[in-house]
């Protein structure tokens, strides 16, 4: 049984180097999910219900991203590794800080996806290149929504009831993100 398994495992279409890179991306998506979950919980405790709803939903979405990489790697004969997550921030000074951190994180993830695409081309791994196209588009959309959330702080202003309106508007961004997601064709 063990031998049959090793033989099947040998028939992988991803190289060990690509497997390592995909496992790094799996970890980054898992960190994203945990970071959004931690931020959602902080918002919940502070009474920012719109922001908490947006961030809880986003945490689920990041887990879905992680699972796309997981399934892709295992279906290609590789070995996806469940990552250990330590790098999560649980406390914030302000609501604005939550969303500035989220935008900075999304930009970091976009760079990581771009590096992965670049590695695919260098290794002539066209199957992984094609698989990644969904993520290229997804990152573009995630950056737009994250940037919009940060912009709301300047547009509405944080004084008086401003923060209440900002929280409400961020809650509405969740519906916008959902509409964008359901307009996309699923990629596996
Ligand atoms: Fe996985 O897209 Fe955000 O981080």
Helical (H) or strand (E) element with 179: helix 162-182
Query: How many CA within 13 A on the CB side of residue 172?
Result: 8
Closest approach atom of ligand 1 to CA 138: 2
| Domain segments of the chain as ranges | 13-81+93-180
Instruction: Answer whether 32 contacts ligand 1 (Cβ < 6 A).
Output: yes
Measured in angstroms, how far is the CA atom of residue 12 from the centroid of ligand 1? 27
Ligand 1 centre and the CA of 29: distance in Å? 6
Residue pLDDT, tens place only, 135-166: 999 999 999 999 999 999 999 999 999 999 99
Contact 42, 98 (CB under 8 A): yes
Ligand 1 closest atom vs CA 109 = 4
C-beta of 106 in contact with ligand 1 (< 6 A): yes
- Interaxial angle between packed helices 162-182 and 49-75, expressed in degrees from 0 to 180 and rounded to the nearest 10: 30
Task: State if residue 113 touches ligand 1 by the CB under 6 angstroms criterion.
Answer: no
29 in ligand 1 pocket by Cβ < 6 Å? Answer: yes
Structure tokens at 48: 């920012």
Neighbours of 37 (CB within 10 A): 18
Architecture of the domain spanning 13-81+93-180: Up-down Bundle (1.20)
Would you say the CB of residue 142 lies under 6 angstroms from ligand 1?
yes
Query: Nearest Cα to 62, choosing from 126, 104, 123, 105?
Result: 105
Taking CA atoms, 152 is separated from 27, 35, 38, 162, 169, in Å, by 30, 21, 21, 10, 8
- Interhelix angle 126-156/162-182, nearest 10 degrees: 160
| Per-residue pLDDT tens over the stretch 84-138 | 998 799 999 999 999 999 999 999 999 999 999 999 999 999 999 999 999 999 9
Is the CB of residue 54 less than 8 Å from the CB of residue 102? Answer: no
pLDDT of 187 above 70: no
* pLDDT given for residue 183 in this prediction: 67
**What does the alpha-carbon distance between residue 164 and residue 174 come to, in Å, rounded to a whole number?**
16
Give the number of the atom of ligand 1 that is nearest the alpha carbon of residue 65: 1
């Amino acid at each position: 049984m063990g031998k049959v398994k090793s033989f099947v495992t040998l028939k992988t279409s991803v190289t060990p180097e690509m497997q390592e890179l995909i496992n790094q991306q799996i970890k980054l998506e898992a960190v994203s999910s945990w970071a959004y979950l931690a931020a959602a919980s902080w918002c919940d405790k502070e009474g920012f219900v719109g922001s908490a709803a947006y961030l809880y939903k986003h945490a689920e979405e990041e887990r879905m991203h992680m699972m796309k990489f997981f399934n892709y790697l295992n279906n290609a004969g590789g070995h996806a590794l469940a990552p250990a997550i330590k790098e999560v921030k649980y406390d914030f000074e302000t609501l604005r800080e939550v969303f500035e951190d989220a935008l900075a994180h999304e930009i970091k993830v976009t760079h990581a996806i771009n590096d992965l695409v670049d590695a695919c081309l260098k290794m002539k791994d066209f199957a992984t290149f094609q698989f990644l196209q969904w993520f290229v588009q997804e990152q573009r959309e995630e950056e737009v929504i994250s940037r919009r959330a940060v912009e709301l702080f300047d547009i509405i202003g944080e004084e008086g009831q401003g923060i209440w309106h900002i929280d409400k508007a961020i809650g509405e961004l969740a519906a916008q993100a959902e509409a964008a997601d359901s307009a996309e064709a699923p990629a596996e």
